[in-house]
Structure 1
Amino acid sequence: MKLVGIAGSNVGSKTRTAMDYTLKIAREKYPQADITLLDLAEYDMAFSDGRNYWEYDGDTKYVTETIMDADALIIGTPTFQASIPATLKNIFDLLPVNAFRDKVVSMVVTAGTAKHYLMAEQQLKPILAYMKAHIVPTYVFIEEKDYLRREIVNDDVLFRMERLVEDTVLLVDAYSQIREKKDAEYDF
């Protein structure tokens, strides 16, 4: 299984911290999985101009092809102006409309206050559904108060991260079995 984590911002540290914790849990629980972190702050991404993702070069090509090759994605995003950051939106714009078909996608959302918890429901989930993702219904929402000196100090957040990783992997397995069963119905 190829699991790709995306730290969906090019500024700040909280989302990257959250993704580091989440992927550490994934590596410990599923050592056989091929796990990659794409921290968008570390890549020089071109803005989408309507080309197919494989027509780009450099970092843009690497990031989009890594996402397209994944079986599952855990998208980490901060909440900026009650929305997703432009760097993450650009990733969605670079990919085709069915980019997440047969992929399981889960979310880790960071925000300054609890008032932004609906951003995932009202903005991120609709984009993922439009792009044909199998969305893990629950997500991890982390507030400013859950951090201290670049460390997550809320045990409930860590528990929810562990559960998110488990749910993501279980859904990958379940959808894989469903696809195999459907494919077996055809004679060719």
Structure 2
Amino acid sequence: MKFVGVSGTLSGYKVLKVVHEVLKAAKKIDPSIETEIIDLKEFDVEFATGVPLSYYNEDTQNIVHKILDADVLLFGMPVYQASLPGALKNVFDLLPIKAFKGKVAGFISTGGSERHFMVAEYNLVPILHYFEAITPTKHIFVHNDKFDEDSDLIDQGIYRRIEQLAEEMVDLQKKLSSHP
């Protein structure tokens, strides 16, 4: 099973830290799981213009292929102005329809306001369903005050929620994989 986490922002490290913790928890559940993090900060992803994938640069093609080759996907995003970051939306715009068919795709989000805790659900769930993903019942919102100045999690309760999300995602994918 290939579990890919996407840190869908071009700034900061909070999202990346939480995505990393979910992948680490999944690996703890099943050591045979292969994990990979895609940190959008590390890639030169071109803007989607509607041309075939082969017209885009190598970084853009690599990210799309890594996402399409995954069995399980976790998208992480900070909430900006009650919406998802443009960098993550651009990645979605590069994907083909049915990109997540037969795959589990979940999400985590971070934000500076408690009012933003449902933004990812209202923004991402319709997108993930459009791509025909199976979405877990759980997702995680982490308020910025749950991180220290080095962007490390300081709220131990978040770790239990991370474990629950990883468990549900791995379990869902195993059930999907066992049904032809």
| Cα displacement (A) at 1:55 | 4.3
For 2:75 and 2:123, locate their aligned partners in 1 and report how far apart those are by CA, in whole Å.
13
Whether the 8 Å CA contact 2:7–2:77 is kept in 1: the answer is: yes
Give the total of aligned pairs: 179
| Cα displacement (A) at 1:54 | 4.6
Whether the 8 Å CA contact 1:4–1:35 is kept in 2: the answer is: yes
Structure-2 residue corresponding to 1:159:
160
Structure-2 residue corresponding to 1:137:
137
For 1:55 and 1:97, locate their aligned partners in 2 and report how far apart those are by CA, in whole Å.
18
Aligned-residue CA RMSD (Å)? 1.2
| Cα displacement (A) at 1:39 | 0.3
Say which is worse superposed, 62-71 or 21-30, in terms of deviation: 21-30
Deviations 1:136-181 (A, max 9, x none): 1210110012111321111111100011111100000111123x2x
Residue type at the aligned position of 2:132: K
The question of 1:26 aligning with 2:53 is answered: no
Give the greater-gyration-radius structure (CA): 1
Consecutive unaligned residues of structure 2, counting only runs of 5 or more, are: none
| Cα displacement (A) at 1:30 | 2.2
| Identical-residue share of aligned pairs (%) | 35
Residue type at the aligned position of 1:73: L
Whether the 8 Å CA contact 2:7–2:75 is kept in 1: the answer is: yes
Structure-1 residue corresponding to 2:40:
40
Structure-1 residue corresponding to 2:59:
59
Q: What TM-score, normalized to structure 2?
A: 0.95
For 2:107 and 2:64, locate their aligned partners in 1 and report how far apart those are by CA, in whole Å.
18
Say which is worse superposed, 83-92 or 23-32, in terms of deviation: 23-32
Consecutive unaligned residues of structure 1, counting only runs of 5 or more, are: 181-188
| Cα displacement (A) at 1:51 | 2.2
Q: What TM-score, normalized to structure 1?
A: 0.91
